[in-house]
Amino acid sequence: MEKNLIDLRNITKVYVMGTEELFALKGVDLQINKNDYLAIMGPSGSGKSTLMNIIGCLDTPSSGEYHLNGKNVSEMDDDELAEIRNLEIGFVFQTFNLLARSDALHNVELPLIYKGLPKSERIEKAEEALYNVGLEDRMTHKPNELSGGQRQRVAIARALVNDPSIILADEPTGNLDSKTGNEIMELLEELNKKGNTIIIVTHEEEIALHANRVVKIRDGSIESDVLSEKGKAAMQRKEIEI
Amino acid sequence: MNLFLEIKENLIISYKAITANKLRSFLATLGIVIGITSVTLMQTAIEGINRAFEKSISAVGADVLYVQKFEWFGKEDWSFYRNRKDITLTQYDYLERNIQTAASVCPSVGTTKTLKYQDLVLENVFVLGTTNEYQITFGANMEEGRFFTQKESDGGYPVCVIGMDIRNAFFENTNPIGKTIKIGTYSFRVIGVVEKQGSLLGLVSLDNRVIVPIDRFFSLFGTKRSLSINIKAGDINNLDETKEEVISIMRKARKVPFGDRDDFGVNQQEAFKATYESLTSLIKIIGSLITSLSLIVGSVGIANIMFVSVKERTKEIGIRKAIGAKKRTILLQFLIESVSICLLGGLIGIMISFPISLLIDKFVLPTAMPLWVIMLGLVVSVIFGVLAGFFPAYNAAKMDPVDSLRYE
Ligand SMILES: Nc1ncnc2c1ncn2[C@@H]1O[C@H](COP(=O)(O)OP(=O)(O)OP(=O)(O)O)[C@@H](O)[C@H]1O
Ligand SMILES: [Mg+2]
């Protein structure tokens, strides 16, 4: 069990609003292996983003235990979590969340700055990451000089630049047309093939088809957790290999 | 990540933030500009007044001790000092013979007389009787001619050395050397002119005086006068030692019983300084406080702008945190931004006050902004930048990443 990259045990998240308590997550158990490709689905307000933020160490659970790579994350302080986010996790957001005043290169460089790498090494890695998402000719463009799809690629390059073990994407295609959305999904699929663990939140069935495993959430609880056709196929391949 | 790298990156960030809002940044610095301008000008003015004072008492001589009946700025009644035994030439001789740590010693005595040259008259001229040692003791430089010699001094020759005021009044277009003037009713031959001395505290002109051999002085103007014995210390750093020696010799010379207090004063330039300090320190403190007030107002303005800036950039803070910025990094980012704004204000302030200080120097008071005032201005800017930026920066640092990412 310790092999699991992500191990959530009885996670709850409670928001206290005045006198009311709002349970965004009601005891979630979830294990995710290395190199998994997981889609989280569910209606609006069901707790997808909340779960995602906890997995990504952006948020802390109200109760329950969370082990990431064998480390007990639920006991870490803010700065330790920041370090985990910096080194282990790459975020891709629906709204891109790029720094508006900085060009693509600087946006991608940022995680490396917080990691403390010297300038030359940073530039080299950031350029490589942008090259990998096909933006080598847009490095000096600011976000408002890029299309939505290009912005999301910058965000993906930023998520990848530090070589994290997990990519978290919360509705990465939500603000894109279906064609650009598909391009982004292909990019993520390639990353998964290269060994990255990927978790995406979506409410589009077609998007979820890219994943190996689909987790459905309703009202803060896991409703179902199944392998997709693709996942089953991959499973069979693995069994044959063994 | 190491602090140096962090500061460097944050400087770039704050440069971007400041230049992205040029007008607002400019307005924000205005308070600090005014504050630093007034603080540096105030300090320059104080410095100027101090220098003017030092210059005005320089004639007293920093390394000269004055043994007199009176104590400068003494606490006792005037009559208390007047009733003391006179200081006599005998005591001067005794001191002069015994002192080890002095470079030179001279007696002096003074009165005011009317001076005449042909049909020109000068009333109320200070007549000073002394020896040839006077020139060494006070470092008097000659404009023309020479000071009197030991022979002229000891022999009480009827020769005199005049100040520049007298020279200008009597000998505007002629050479004064060798001319005969009348001090009171007695004739003296002019042998030298002392170069311009200025005045003491801007009150007493030191150039409106005539110096004569002390023996001549006594025989013409009367002996019932108390002397001042003026001692130039061998080494200004050992002034206190010289003072101790002077006191012990003078006590013997004046036969002061053991245990009694001195019946004479040993005065020095310090007395002027101490009195000046006590008179002006309160004014200086109040002036500094009032000017600092403008700085405080300025920094409140900066704090305000910083709060707005943090609020506006909530989302940016969320993004930075999401990809790994620690609390300290965010704190430093906004602190450096606020310090940068204040430092910019400080630099502008100095760029304004420096030329003003040159104008003051030219037209009001001889002063130039000393380097330490410029440094003070910059250091104070940094301090106020930290003070103004701390709470906004702290607010930013402790923001919740999820909440700030969601902020619209
Ligand atoms: N900061 C908060 N304070 C109070 N309630 C919150 C807060 N954040 C989330 N919630 C509530 O928690 C529940 C789960 O929210 P969450 O954002 O995880 O939903 P979601 O599944 O991502 O929805 P969507 O598909 O619309 O993005 C919602 O009912 C939401 O109102
Ligand atoms: Mg959501």
Q: Beta-carbon neighbour count of residue B365 at 10 Å?
A: 15
Least Cα distance to B340 among B17, B5, B4 occurs for B17
Altogether, the residues listed in chain B come to a count of 408
Length of chain A: 242
The whole-model pTM stands at: 0.76
In angstroms, the separation between the Cα of residue A81 and the nearest Cα of chain B is 8
- Probe residue for ligand 1, chosen from A40, A46, A199 as the CB with the greatest number of ligand atoms within 8 Å: A46
A82 contacts chain B (CB < 8 A)? yes
Alpha carbon distance A11, B368 (integer Å)? 70
The chain B residue lying nearest A99, using CA atoms, is: B316
CB pairs under 8 A between A and B: 67
- Dist CA B86 CA B219 (whole Å): 17
CB contact at 8 A, A169 and A9: no
pLDDT digits (tens, 9 = 90+) for B333-343: 999 999 999 99
Query: Residues B304-326: what's their mean pLDDT?
Result: 94
The ipTM (two decimal places) reads: 0.94
Task: HSE, CB side, 13 Å, CA atoms: give it for residue B305.
Answer: 28
Residues of B in Cβ contact (< 8 Å) with A86: 323-324
Q: Which residues in B have their CB inside 8 Å of a CB on A?
A: 1-2, 5, 9, 16-17, 20, 315-316, 318-329, 401-402, 405
Which residues of chain B does A116 touch, with a Cβ-Cβ cutoff of 8 Å?
Answer: 1-2, 5
Q: What is the mean pLDDT of residues A161-180?
A: 91
Ligand 2 ion local residues (Cβ < 5 A) = A 49
**The ligand 1 atom nearest the CA atom of B403:** 1
Positive or negative torsion for Cα A127, A131, A136, A139? negative
pLDDT digits (tens, 9 = 90+) for A57-76: 999 999 999 999 989 998 89
Q: Are B187 and B136 in contact (CB under 8 A)?
A: no
Question: Cβ–Cβ contacts within 10 Å for residue A37, how many?
Answer: 24
* Residue B250 identity (one-letter amino acid): M
CA dist B316 and B331 (Å) reads: 13
Contact of A58 with chain B, judged by CB distance below 8 Å, is answered with: yes
Residues pairing with B190 in the sheet: B160
From A14, A15, A41, mutation site for ligand 1 pocket: most ligand atoms within 8 A of C-beta? A15
Query: Dmax over Cα atoms in chain B, in whole Å?
Result: 102
Token couple for B89: 């030439």
Q: Is B204 helix (H, G, I), strand (E, B) or coil?
A: strand
State the pairing for strand pair B159-162/B186-194.
Answer: parallel
Asked if residues B388 and B303 have their Cβ atoms less than 8 Å apart, the reply is yes
- In percent, how much of chain A has pLDDT > 70? 98
pLDDT of residue A242: 60
Chain A residue whose CA is closest to B324: A86
Instruction: Decide: A52 in ligand 1 pocket, CB within 6 A.
Output: no
Q: Where are the beta strands (DSSP E) in chain A?
A: 6-17, 20-32, 37-41, 63-68, 71-72, 89-93, 166-170, 197-201, 213-218, 221-227
- Mean pLDDT on B273-300: 88
Q: Is residue A122 a contact partner of residue A153, using CB atoms and an 8 Å limit?
A: no
Q: Let me know: does B200 contact B57? Beta carbons within 8 Å.
A: yes
Quickly list DSSP for B76-91. S-HHHHHTSPPP-HHH
Ligand 1 centroid vs A23 CA: distance in angstroms? Answer: 10
Closest residue on chain B to A87 (Cα):
B324
- pLDDT (tens digit, 9 = 90+) per residue, A196-224? 999 999 988 888 889 999 999 999 999 99
Rounded to an integer, the average pLDDT of B389-405 is 95
Question: pLDDT tens digits for B123-157?
Answer: 999 999 999 999 999 888 899 999 999 999 999 99
Q: Is the CB of A50 under 6 A from ligand 1?
A: yes
Could A111 and B401 be called an inter-chain contact, meaning their C-beta atoms sit closer than 8 Å?
no
* pLDDT of A2 strictly over 70: no
Dist. CA B249–CA B266, nearest whole Å: 12
Residue A46 Cα to ligand 1 midpoint, Å, equals 7
Q: Please determine, for residue B367, whether its predicted confidence score (pLDDT) is greater than 80.
A: no
Work out the minimum CA distance from A14 to partner chain B, whole angstroms. 14
- Sign of torsion, CA B17 B19 B25 B29? positive
* Mean of the per-residue pLDDT values of chain B: 90
Among B323, B328, B408, the strongest candidate for a mutation testing the A interface, having the largest count of A CBs within 10 A, is B323
What does the DSSP 8-state code read for residue B72?
T
Q: Which residues does B359 contact at the CB level (< 8 Å), separation at least 6?
A: none
Longest dimension (CA), chain A: 56
Which residue of chain B has the CA closest to A158? B323
Whose CA is closest to B238, among B73, B386, B403, B103?
B103
The answer to whether the CB of B378 falls within 8 A of the CB of B350 is: yes
Q: Which residues contact B381 (CB under 8 A, 6 or more apart)?
A: B32, B36, B339, B342, B343, B345, B346, B347, B349
Shortest Cα–Cα distance, A158 to chain B (Å):
9
The confidence score (pLDDT) of residue A1 equals 44
Q: Compare A203 and B218 and report the one with higher pLDDT.
A: B218
Residue B192's SS3 state is strand
Lowest mean pLDDT segment, chosen from A147-156, B337-346, B364-373? B364-373
| Residue for token pair 């800036």 | B309
A239: pLDDT strictly greater than 80 = no
CB neighbours of residue B270 within 10 Å: 12
Strands, sheet with A213-218, edge to edge from the N-terminal-most edge strand: A89-93, A166-170, A197-201, A37-41, A213-218, A221-227
Contact list in A for residue B326 (CB cut-off 8 A) is: 78-79, 82-83, 114
Buried b (16+ CB within 10 A) or exposed e, B321-339: bbbbbbbebbbbbbbbbbb
Measured N-to-C along each axis, helices A104-115 and A148-160 cross at an angle, to the nearest 10 degrees, of 20
For residue B252, which of B90, B63, B84, B82 has the smallest C-alpha distance?
B90
Instruction: Give pLDDT tens digits for B169-206.
Output: 999 889 999 999 999 999 999 999 999 888 777 777 88
> B45: pLDDT confidence band, cut at 50, 70 and 90?
confident
- Secondary structure (3-state) at B148: coil
